[in-house]
Structure 1
Amino acid sequence: MRLSRSIFHEVLEAEYTKTNPFNDIRNLKVVKNISNVPPTDEEMRLICAELRKENYGFYIFYMLIYYCGIRPEELRNLKIKQLNFKTRSIELDAEFTKTDKYRAVPMIGNSFELLKNYEGCNPEYYIFGTWVPNGGRHSRKNWFLPNPYQINEDTPNRQWNKLIKIGLGINKNLYSGKHKGADDKREAGMDIKTICTIFGHSEIEMTERYMHSLKVERLEAAKNVKLKIF
């Protein structure tokens, strides 16, 4: 039971599902490890260089997690027709969002430039798809590209583990890119309410969960509070 709950906690953290059936089980402790902490700037440089080298489509996939806060499952279902280059936004269908609501996400950072080459592709193609039905075996360099079929649900995490966790020895999860994006947006001056809207969160408290730097700042501020000495 402990293992099942821990695994499901990671799935919930990546927002693949909306509820955790283990929430009502009281006396089991879930340990959060360092893989949930955002990558450092140096780790980000190494990660991005490796992804660009090994699979450029997967690099774009990761950049949309980082820049736009789009969940892996939303990206897996994303089609070319949902890219609005006039408004520079990505239109997410309510069917595939965690909140079951339509969401238009601005193309932040250089995501517009990364996606611009897809403008002339078949609008019904999956942006990060494969040409093999039912997720058959194929080489990495030709998937995570506009194609008629979806990649398997576990493909992004499996490739991340192979390329980044094992290949580079960086023990950070794929979804930690969203945590890094939240920290960097705040550092760049974006207010939390705006980040909350971009992420599609109903409450600011949910957005703050992704801000490791905010937690650190609050703990540092706590050290300077003057309390009575008894």
Structure 2
Amino acid sequence: MARIQPRNGKTRTTYTATVRVKGQPSISRTFDTKGEAKSWAAEVERQIRMGRYQDVRPAENLTFADALSQYLARVSTTKRPNSESRDKISAKALIAGFGSDISLAAINPQRLAEYRDKRIQTVSPSTFQKEFALVSHLFNVARREWGLPVDNPVPQVRRPKVDNNRTRFLTKEEAQRLLDVAKTSRNTKLYPYLLLLMHTGMRPSEAAGLQWGDVDLDGRLVKLQVTKTDMRYVPLTEMAENVLRSIRPKEAQMETYVFLPHSSKEARKVLDIPCNHFKRSFGTARKKAGLDDLHLHDLRHTAASHLLMAGVDIRTLAEILGHKTMQMVQRYTHLLNDHKLKAVDRINSLGLE
């Protein structure tokens, strides 16, 4: 049975609805109008009698900021270092956007849409998508693992499309120009690092975070243990093997980093995103080489594209790059139109005298 009780304040009157059903704890909520109080009470009483009512008070008493903090401590710490770092950045932006006082239950599609419209003016769609992905997983974890009565509002909100089809790759001449400049860099590890990226297709942080214990120079293999997907082995070209051998210390320890500073304190600064160690030196090198539009990740595209042009099959390429789906590798094939034209030109005289 429901009871509506008016409460007279200094500036306005509110209405507290209390629902009591035999065998169930009483539930109360305050509204601005009597009509809202009656409607809420009737709906709650109906859901209780049908066994469908979920008490939202735990979610109302938990702030969105506290929920994010719990997620970072309980979920993000189980992820790869790069993903954990990304979660921290996204959480900071979300708390700044929504404030520290709003409850988890108050995060609805309307508020998310407002955040989207404002946020997308200052960040890329990719950055925004990562933030919404965090919110979505937070709600799923809160419901399934924390027992909170919340529904995920993210699927109901339209999200900007992310263009992941950027596949800039270097020609042989451009690659040579970049490497020649890298040899003159004050960062003596820049040249072997860039060459390794071009010759293996490793992700920038996979290569930058290598330890000598991961590198088998005699077998020409690198074991990648910390990756975006699963552990994998990456073969080395003879040139990549030679350049790594040239920088390997005589008494290299298994846990010694190949490229990062030997000082554990200095290395710790960039361990979340190891490729940041080369951010400044790479920026200088690409500018001197006249390749201002080049990103570090484009060297991965470069390796993939040239492997394809050399006749490597798609499935083998996917294994080298660590792609779980063939769709990710197919993105490179459209870059090879000129290569395909040269291939079909070989039968240009077929059927002709």
**How high is the TM-score relative to the length of structure 1?**
0.70
Is residue 2:300 matched to residue 1:178?
Answer: yes
Query: Displacement of 1:128 after TM fit?
Result: 0.4
1:228 alignment counterpart? none
Unmatched 5+ residue regions in structure 1?
Answer: 10-18, 136-148, 220-230
1:203 alignment counterpart? 325
Deviations 1:151-188 (Å, cap 9, x if unpaired)? 72323233322321x33331211111111111111111
Larger radius of gyration: 2
Call closer, same or farther: CA 1:22–1:41 in 2, change over 3 Å.
farther
Call closer, same or farther: CA 1:109–1:22 in 2, change over 3 Å.
farther
2:83 alignment counterpart? none
2:239 alignment counterpart? 110
Deviations 1:12-53 (Å, cap 9, x if unpaired)? xxxxxxx8345776453556797x511222221110101112
Q: How does 1:155-174 map to 2 (within 5 A)?
A: 155-164=277-286, 166-170=287-291, 171-174=293-296
| Letter paired with 1:97 | T
Call closer, same or farther: CA 1:151–1:44 in 2, change over 3 Å.
farther
| Letter paired with 1:68 | T
Q: How does 1:63-74 map to 2 (within 5 A)?
A: 63-74=195-206
Call closer, same or farther: CA 1:119–1:85 in 2, change over 3 Å.
farther
Query: Displacement of 1:81 after TM fit?
Result: 0.9
> 2:192, 2:174 → 1: CA distance?
17
Asked if the contact 1:66/1:180 (under 8 Å) is kept, the reply is: yes
Q: Between Structure 1 and Structure 2, which shows a larger proportion of helix residues?
A: 2
> 1:195, 1:33 → 2: CA distance?
18
Of the two structures, which has the highest relative contact order with CA contacts closer than 8 Å and spacing of 6 or more? 1
| Letter paired with 1:127 | V
Asked if the contact 2:165/2:331 (under 8 Å) is kept, the reply is: no
SS at match of 2:327: helix
Query: Displacement of 1:112 after TM fit?
Result: 1.1
Asked if the contact 1:83/1:91 (under 8 Å) is kept, the reply is: yes
RMSD: 3.1
| Letter paired with 1:111 | A
**How high is the TM-score relative to the length of structure 2?**
0.48
Query: Displacement of 1:5 after TM fit?
Result: 2.9
SS at match of 1:129: coil
**% identity of equivalent residues:** 24
